[in-house]
Structure 1
C-alpha cells in the first residue's frame, strides 16, 4: 500500500470511493443535497486548508482521508468495501492525524453515526479516539489529543 497527497485531479476518485461504501452510504445526489459536490470538494482540496490523502494498492485507489486544518476536523475517511482489514483505514487516519499535528493542531475531532451496524465508532476507539458526546444531529463526536 502506498499513500499520496491528493490533488484537484483526484476529486472524481474521491467521489467514486465515497459512493462505493456500504456503511454510511450516500449517493452523489444525497451528498449534493448536503452541499458536497465535485466543485466544493475541488475547492476544499485546492484551498490548502485540507490534508487529503489517497491510499493505493497495486496502483489502484482504495481509500482516502480528508482533514481540515483550520478546524482540526477529520472530515472524511473512507475505504472501498473489498479492501477492509488490510490496514488502509488506520494508515489513512494516521496520515490525517499527522497532517493536522504538523500544522499545529493539538486536539482533533470527527463525527460519525452510531447506527448499530456501523463499525466506525469501534474503529475510531481502537485508534485512540475518545467519545466526547453527541452533536445536535445525533452523530457521535470523537476527539483525540495530537500533542501536548
Structure 2
C-alpha cells in the first residue's frame, strides 16, 4: 500500500472518540481509553480542545477509516501525540502528519517545538524524531519521557 491511498484532513471535535480508540491500537506507546482518562484525556476534553482551537490536529484516513493522527498544543508549541495503526507504519504518513502539525504550530508563532519521546534506542520513535532533526533537551516530561525540541528556520 502507498500513501496515495490516504486522505488527510484537519481533525474535528467529533473525531475525538475514534482518536482515543486508535491510540489503544498502536504498536508502541499504546494507551487505552481508561489510561487516557486517568491522565485527564476523555472524549469530552479532547473534543473541546479541538473545538476551541487549542489542540489542532490532522488525520490520515484510508477508505474513510482513521489510521493515524497528530495533534499539537497552540499555547505551548508541544506536539502532543502522533499515532498510527501498525499496518500503516513505514509509508511516510507519520512524517506527513507531523509536518502538518509543525506548520500549524509555526503559524501560531512558535519557533521552537517540543515533545516527549522514549529514550530507548530500540523504540521506533527514538530514531524517527531524531532522523527528522529533533534534538534532546536533556530534560524529562511529567511522564518520564525524554524531551526533544525542534527549532524552526
TM bracket, shorter-chain basis: over 0.9
For 1:139, the equivalent position in structure 2 comes to 145
The C-alpha deviation readout for 1:43-98, integer Å capped at 9, x for no partner, is 11111122211011233221000000110000000001110001110001001101
Shift of 1:2: 2.1
Normalised to the residue count of structure 2, the TM-score between the two structures is 0.90
The CA RMSD over aligned residues, in Å, is: 1.4
- Secondary structure in 2 aligned to 1:76? strand
Q: Name the count of aligned residue pairs.
A: 147
- Matching residue within 12, 18, 36 for 2:17: 12
**Structure 1 runs of 4+ with >2 Å offset:** 57-60, 113-117
User: Mind listing any 5+ residue stretches in structure 1 that lack a counterpart?
Assistant: none
Normalised to the residue count of structure 1, the TM-score between the two structures is 0.92
For 1:59, the equivalent position in structure 2 comes to 64
Rounded Cα–Cα distance in structure 1 between residues aligned with 2:8 and 2:98:
11
- Matching residue within 8, 12, 16 for 1:3: 8
The C-alpha deviation readout for 1:94-132, integer Å capped at 9, x for no partner, is 011010111111110000223454211110001111111
- Matching residue within 64, 73, 76 for 1:71: 76
User: Mind listing any 5+ residue stretches in structure 2 that lack a counterpart?
Assistant: 1-5
